[in-house]
A and B are shown apart, each in its own frame.
Chain A
Amino acid sequence: MNIKKLLSRLDDFFDQSKKKQKKKSVKLVKIIKLLEEKKSELKKEVKQEAKINKKSKNVYNLCKEYKVITKMIKKAKKQESIISGDKISSKDSEN
């Protein structure tokens, strides 16, 4: 093994950034899944509550939460796609 290869292997060992990105991506996927589940639960709740009174405070609160979760999912998906994109480009550059 030449010195360049040895050094690049050592660099890979010490450089945890790729590993960290992969970890972050896995975590984001989990968060997205969790938020999606919550979103579908909320949707059901909003429908049920709206049947009783469309303009109640409860419906208002649930709608706010639904809106927030939708926004968070969108943001999480965007971030996850950026990280996945990075992974692809780094693989490409290796090839």
Chain B
Amino acid sequence: MLKRIISPLLFLFFAWFVVSNENAKTIIAGIAIFLIGMHYMENGFKLFSGGVLENVLQKFTSTTPKAIGTGFLATSVVQSSSLVSVIVISFLSAELMGLTSAVGVVFGSNIGTTTTAWLVSSLGLKIKIAQYALPMLIFGVIMQFSKHNSYKGLGNVLIGLGFIFLGIAYMKEGFETLKEGLNLAEYAMAGYLGVFVYIFFGAVATVVIQSSSATMAIIITALATGQIDYINALSLAIGANIGTTVTAILGALASNKNGKRLAVAHLIFNLITGIIAIIFIYQLKDLVDIIAPLLTISEDDYAMKLALFHTIFNVIGVLVVAPFIKQLVRFLETLFCTKEQDRGQPKYLTDEVMEIPASALEAIRKETIHLYDKSLEAIVHAMNLHRKEIFSDKEVHDVIEESNLPFDIDIDQIYQNDIKNLYGEILRYSSRSQSYMDEEGNNQVYELKLTARNIIETLKDIRELQKNLNNFTKSKNWFMIHEYNKLRKELVTIFREIEEMRSTSDDATEIMTQIQVLKEKANDNEIAMSKNIDSLIRENKIDSKMASSLINDAGFTFSISKKLLKTASVLWVNDLEITELGDEYEY
């Protein structure tokens, strides 16, 4: 209720402030244009990179130093720590990257984001960058009309850069005119009180603008135009670093537990870095004065010095926190641990991943495996067996003979409670992510969707099988008990073989060969079973009702076998060329 009243009031006040204050209007418009630019550039890289950035991150994050270096390079190149963070969250969600590597990338990204300050201070304030902004915008818009995703991506990047440069130019203009009427330095307080006040301003500004890079651009332009003095600017930069964690926290709210853990890591890192910078602010200022001449930065070039300060205190933060990365990750893993309260909820399908084809595909694959595991548990119980026994070292024959008592399990209820929502989420997510994929990606997602449907169909088959299985395992007819145990044995063998392939073999050709061999054997067994039923009928060992049930259930069993083998070929032969060598399956 309060929010409903306060939000419009704040908006009205802000509107009045913008309209009545000419300089503020120019500066805020500059910020808005800058943010639009960042948004365009981020979207552009998503289209333009087409997975390149993701591939690089995946390859170069195997160790902490590599992860830090990669985070630094990636952020320096794309000029957006938020884009890198989103990709890292997507990797985490898709389990392509561990939390340790992800934390390393975020640390490196914190150093990488300081390059914005260098760019703005070295290029933005010395060259009339607005003159480059307009041609970039023109060519960017022309490229937008292309049908090709890569052209569009390049167009977006150009538009983004154009807006960023234009935004900086507006901000600079606003501060220039503001300088004549108002001097922010008048409000500066001496000593640590002033430092804390400006840290607070820096943090609040970053929270409001939702971009530390934009805050840094404002600080540098304000400093260059003399609105604030050097030490105020340093304090604002520290504040911006702390404020940027709020953006990450907001972003992580919608993500999974690993995304949230990463946001906490980001917060811890920035708080520690901030505390160090606050304590040693005067010493750091002296350090900048010592290093600056070595980098040919003149004594009065405070914009460049601020950029240097920003880099130094982030590097110090990494040097201090990185040695404790393992302990930090151990602590993070104790956070956001939820119980199995989210039955039927997807584990890997996060919206952050959706627009990144490679990660989205991996997330869908992992979620389909999750669906398989959930369904397998139900299938195994419907056959009056335990997973533990099936995957033990016991002989298949012993496993079957030892557990004949019917389980009290309702497949329909399991489907409604645990499976239906998960399946629906896979379909929803797949269909939405397909719009961001090329033809090959679309085909792969289509195959995964069919696999998910296949898994659901096996559940329906087992539901039919379960009814007679429970009846005939209590039957007085020994032949019927024996035949139904043969059906159970057939399925247990398939479960075991698939589990073994899944856990031991990395060779896609080998897995595919084994799957095809199992399929051939299943065909042979089906023929043998059919012949056996015929002889049981001829010899009057089973009556006609029993025969019809057995024939139907044999059909269900072999249908389940083949569907599971097809599922395995899609989920674990992670190689399109080799999957295509398998038998075609009629869905």
Contact = CB atoms under 8 A, between A and B. Distances in A.
Interface of A: 10-11, 14, 20, 24, 27-28, 31, 34-35, 38, 61, 64-65, 67-69, 71-72, 75-76, 79
B570 to A, nearest CB: 16
Contacts of B582: 72
Given A31-B577, A72-B581, A14 B513 contact: no
A76 B516 CA distance: 15
A61 B513 CA distance: 12
Contacts of A14: 148, 150-151
A11 B148 CA distance: 9
Interface residues of B, number: 17
A69 B513 contact: yes
Interface string B438-475: 00100000000000000000000000000000000000
Interface of B: 148, 150-151, 440, 509, 512-513, 516-517, 520-521, 577-578, 580-583
Contacts of A67: 520
B520 A68 contact: yes
B577 A24 contact: yes
Given A65-B513, A69-B513, A72-B513, A28 B520 contact: no
A14 B521 CA distance: 46
List of 8 A-B pairs having minimum Cβ-Cβ separation, nearest first: A68-B516, A14-B150, A72-B581, A64-B517, A64-B520, A75-B581, A68-B517, A65-B517
28 contacts: A10-B151, A11-B148, A14-B148, A14-B150, A14-B151, A20-B440, A27-B577, A34-B509, A35-B509, A61-B517, A64-B517, A64-B520, A65-B513, A65-B517, A67-B520, A68-B513, A68-B516, A68-B517, A68-B520, A69-B513, A71-B516, A71-B583, A72-B512, A72-B513, A72-B581, A75-B581, A79-B580, A79-B581
Chain A binding surface, main DSSP class: helix
Nearest to A72: B581
Contacts of A79: 577, 580-581
A11 B512 CA distance: 37
A72 B510 CA distance: 12
A87 B521 CA distance: 38
Contacts of A72: 512-513, 516, 581-582
A33 B516 CA distance: 19
Contacts of B583: 71
Nearest to B440: A20
A68 B582 CA distance: 9
A28 B513 contact: no
A35 B582 CA distance: 13
A34 to B, nearest CB: 6
B336 to A, nearest CB: 40
B93 to A, nearest CB: 27
Contacts of A65: 513, 517
Contacts of B520: 64, 67-68
Nearest to B580: A79
B509 A28 contact: no
Given A14-B148, A14-B150, A72-B512, A31 B517 contact: no
Given A14-B151, A71-B516, A72-B513, A31 B581 contact: yes
Most chain B Cβ neighbours within 10 Å, of A67, A68, A69: A68
